[in-house]
């Protein structure tokens, strides 16, 4: 168009193109100005919040110092001889690990603990709501500043997660809607194994699956944010098991965290993805379980795994986040060892600088670098792989396998045949006998209104309650050793509840240099909020750590050859490892002050770190039993009695003592690192010196704690072994249509973190079930009735 023609079109009317363009430009400038004003206002709000947080933190520190002085005054009094010198007497939280000689000092410290918790919670939630309003303002600027936040949709989604409370969003049994009381499969427990089994069975659109979960949803911040997992312990999302007093471990009663929410322990654990040495599974097969060699198990490990290659381009659907700190030398892996098509995401995520220095110090101490703990060898040092999504959120098994489209009828790809019922407390298995054949037929449970109901299985009942839940339900249903009082006996299996094995850990805590970043520095109000913002906006920062970052797997002859030789000479050495590639100890670096599962607070907000030695092949075995109790209705019920029998074999305590010595050798190297440092604050070398083996063993008995890996209480093996409970296809011996599918079937504890092995077991079980029913000529499905007909 010529200039003359363009000028002729400018008549100043409403249809003038030039005027319209100018008006649009003016409007755009006005929007930018308003946006900038909003940004300025948001910044002012943020500054005000920071000032408020700093003021609150100063007040907290002043109060802390004042109360600690009062507490310290009481400590100077003579301590009673029966006090535990390493732990507070069964407290859920404490400020410092000191002897309490006066009840007044103890009360003052307890009061301070409550004060700190109240202040922290009030600051967090108050500031959180303000943060959401700031994010709401920022969202309106996404067009002007698209890089200001990573994803508006994600912010909205995570904001909903942060505001969620476990008691909301329940999906309990609905009498008006839940008229179906016959399902093909009933899965007891929507935990790590139950989520996998239910999802895999539902791949067949011709079947329906019911999952009875005693807890509720896992859509809670403490589960979604990896760095907050220990805050779930001893809440309603935890079964809150405790051991009986441990006769060989200071007569202590120890907590046993178990997940009571969808996803089970995969929703509350430390997210370490580790399979263990191949020889451990070959040993399972050698114990009379054909088909369970590592070669046959490996495809099932890979089947569930969706490994994220950290070297993929940033825009790749499975690639890593671009705005996290990278440690390429510590992101090594064996591509042949991993699966990439499974729904369970495995990756490398946040890593503290401290962890990289820990790996270097371990190498300097003679420990070989391991390219991939899930590759050819388990031994060596490296960072651990984790089941965390690329957006920084925990990849629990419920999140991976029980997605919303799978649990709603009519979901995608013909699936959605899984019905998940929350608040369903299973009480007993229902049995019947046909032609003298015992078989499981259903489940009796209490719904969320405490109404007793029954549901029936036309194919199988699948117990996925874990090492405590599955034997408890069997025993409560009359399946186990000799008849118990008040429980009608149905079937004798002496091994139910026996063979309990667990990994025991012993920790040493160190004070780092101030420049060394650790989690304790993030406990201050302002830093805590900053970490929350980073987690919400970009899925980065300290809250995306699963805390156990740097890891060593070692054998005793590699770190204490003289001690091993002496033990063998004395005839006291006990070899429990499955082979020369199976570790005796795992050493884990925890970048923070970690005592009693994170329930004991550090004395201040300075830098601390903890290193823990885990006993991988315990010689001490325990039991899980039940004791009768009366429920709310006055009916006879049972409760679990956990007795791991920790350190009953003195060799276990001596091995942990060697672990402490090895930890100190590594930290002495860290102490010479100008960026780290390492002054031992607990237990202290003056109190427990390296040269005093008796003091080290005593420390082990007074301070060791569970590391959440109980297994073996429904042992897998041939029927010729009277202590086995299930066969190699996980069928309960002597009872048709009943299987146990979880960590309780492991005949021997693997030298690994048990979540990945449990998922492998579930994947195998799902195929066993499909194979058995595809070739079976079993009874036809029972005609569906209504729930009203099944009510007691």
The whole-angstrom separation of Cα 171 and Cα 28 is: 47
CA-only gyration radius of the chain, Å: 29
Q: Are 529 and 504 in contact (CB under 8 A)?
A: no
The whole-angstrom separation of Cα 426 and Cα 444 is: 6
Strand duo 479-480 + 491-492: pairing:
parallel
The whole-angstrom separation of Cα 352 and Cα 370 is: 19
Residue 475: CA count within 13 A, CB half-sphere: 29
The whole-angstrom separation of Cα 230 and Cα 35 is: 40
Q: Are 732 and 725 in contact (CB under 8 A)?
A: yes
* Interacting residues of 762 by C-beta distance below 8 A, sequence separation 6+: 192, 193, 194, 196, 197, 200, 464, 741, 742
The total of other beta-carbon atoms located within 10 Å of residue 698's CB is: 17
Per the structure block, which two tokens stand in for 20? 């319209």
Per the structure block, which two tokens stand in for 760? 């492998």
Strand duo 380-383 + 418-421: pairing:
unpaired
Instruction: Using alpha carbons only, give the angle 86, 92, 96 rounded to the nearest 5 degrees.
Output: 45
Per the structure block, which two tokens stand in for 282? 């070959």
Query: What element of type H or E holds 430?
Result: strand 425-434
The whole-angstrom separation of Cα 742 and Cα 258 is: 13
Closest CA to 258 of 274, 236, 275: 236
Q: Are 678 and 512 in contact (CB under 8 A)?
A: yes
The one catalytic residue in 349, 350, 597, 709 is 709
Q: What are phi and psi of 452, to 5 degrees?
A: -80, 125
Active site residue 10: no
Q: Are 34 and 76 in contact (CB under 8 A)?
A: no
**How many secondary structure helices (H) and strands (E) does the chain include?**
19, 22
Per the structure block, which two tokens stand in for 233? 């312990």
Query: What element of type H or E holds 456?
Result: strand 452-463
Strand duo 380-383 + 550-554: pairing:
antiparallel
Residue with the two structure tokens 């290193």: 611
> Which residues are catalytic, by number?
709
């Amino acid at each position: 168009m010529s200039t003359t023609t363009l000028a002729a079109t400018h008549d100043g009317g409403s249809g003038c193109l030039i005027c319209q363009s100018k008006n649009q430009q003016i409007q755009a400038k006005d929007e930018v100005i308003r946006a900038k004003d909003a940004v300025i206002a948001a910044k002012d709000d943020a500054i005000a919040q920071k000032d408020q947080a700093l003021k609150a933190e100063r007040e907290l520190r002043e109060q802390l110092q004042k109360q600690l002085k009062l507490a310290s005054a009481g400590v100077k009094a003579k301590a009673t001889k029966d006090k535990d010198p390493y732990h507070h007497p069964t407290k859920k939280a404490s400020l410092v690990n000191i002897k309490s000689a006066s009840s007044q000092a103890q009360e003052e410290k307890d009061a301070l603990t409550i004060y700190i918790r109240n202040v922290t919670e009030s600051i967090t939630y108050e500031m959180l709501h303000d943060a959401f309003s700031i994010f709401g303002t920022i969202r309106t600027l996404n067009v002007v500043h698209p890089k200001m936040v990573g994803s508006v949709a994600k912010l909205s989604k995570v904001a909903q997660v942060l505001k969620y409370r476990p008691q909301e969003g329940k999906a309990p049994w609905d009498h008006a809607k839940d008229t179906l009381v016959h399902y093909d499969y009933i899965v007891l427990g929507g935990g790590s194994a139950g989520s996998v089994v239910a999802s895999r069975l539902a791949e067949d659109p011709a079947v329906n699956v019911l999952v009875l979960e005693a807890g509720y949803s896992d859509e809670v911040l403490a589960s979604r944010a990896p760095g907050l997992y220990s805050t779930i312990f001893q809440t309603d999302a935890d079964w809150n098991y405790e051991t009986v007093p441990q006769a060989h471990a200071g007569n202590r009663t120890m907590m046993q965290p178990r997940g009571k929410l969808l996803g089970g322990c995969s929703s509350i654990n430390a997210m370490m993805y580790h399979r263990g040495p191949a020889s451990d599974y070959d040993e399972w097969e050698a114990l009379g379980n054909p088909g369970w060699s590592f070669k046959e198990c490996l495809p099932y490990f890979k089947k569930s795994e969706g490994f994220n290659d950290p070297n993929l381009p940033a825009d790749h659907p499975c690639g890593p986040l671009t705005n996290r700190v990278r440690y390429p030398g510590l992101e090594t892996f064996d591509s042949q060892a991993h699966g990439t098509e499974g729904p369970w995401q495995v990756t490398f995520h946040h890593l503290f600088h401290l962890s990289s220095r820990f790996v270097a110090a371990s190498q300097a101490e003679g420990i070989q670098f391991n390219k991939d703990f899930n590759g050819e060898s388990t031994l060596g040092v490296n960072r651990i792989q984790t089941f965390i999504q690329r957006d920084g959120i925990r990849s629990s098994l419920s999140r991976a396998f029980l997605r919303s489209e799978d649990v709603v009828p009519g979901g995608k790809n013909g699936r959605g045949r899984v019905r998940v019922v929350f608040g369903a407390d299973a009480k007993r298995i229902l049995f019947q006998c046909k032609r003298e054949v015992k078989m499981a037929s259903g489940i009796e449970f209490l719904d969320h209104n405490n109404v007793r109901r029954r549901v029936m299985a036309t194919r199988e009942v699948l117990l996925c309650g874990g090492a405590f839940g599955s034997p408890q339900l069997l025993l409560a249903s009359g399946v186990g050793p000799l008849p118990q009082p008040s429980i009608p006996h149905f079937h004798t299996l002496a091994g139910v509840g026996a063979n309990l094995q667990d990994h025991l850990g012993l920790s040493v805590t160190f004070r780092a240099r101030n420049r060394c970043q650790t989690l304790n520095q993030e406990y201050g109000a302002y830093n805590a909020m900053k970490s929350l913002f980073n987690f919400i906006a970009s899925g980065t920062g300290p809250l995306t750590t699963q805390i156990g970052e740097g890891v060593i797997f070692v054998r005793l002859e590699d770190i204490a050859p003289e001690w091993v030789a002496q033990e063998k000479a004395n005839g006291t050495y006990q070899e429990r490892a499955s082979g020369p590639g199976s570790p005796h100890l795992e050493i884990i670096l925890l970048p923070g002050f970690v005592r009693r599962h994170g329930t004991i607070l550090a004395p201040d907000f300075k830098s601390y770190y903890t290193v823990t030695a885990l006993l991988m092949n315990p010689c001490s075995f325990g039991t899980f039993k039940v004791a009768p109790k009366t429920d709310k209705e006055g009916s006879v019920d049972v409760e679990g009695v956990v007795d791991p029998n920790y350190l009953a074999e003195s060799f276990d305590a001596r091995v942990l003592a060697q672990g402490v010595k090895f930890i100190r050798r590594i930290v002495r190297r860290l102490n010479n690192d100008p960026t780290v440092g390492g002054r031992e604050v607990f237990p202290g070398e003056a109190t427990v010196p390296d040269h005093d083996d008796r003091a080290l063993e005593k420390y082990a008995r007074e301070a060791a704690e569970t590391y959440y890996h109980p297994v073996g209480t429904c042992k897998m093996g041939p029927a010729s072994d009277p202590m086995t409970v299930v066969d190699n296809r996980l069928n309960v011996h002597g009872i048709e249509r009943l299987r146990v599918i979880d960590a309780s079937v492991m005949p021997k504890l693997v030298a690994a973190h048990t979540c990945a092995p449990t998922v492998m077991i579930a994947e195998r079980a799902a195929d066993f079930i499909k194979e058995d029913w595809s070739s079976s000529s079993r009874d036809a499905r029972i005609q569906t009735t209504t729930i009203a007909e099944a009510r007691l």
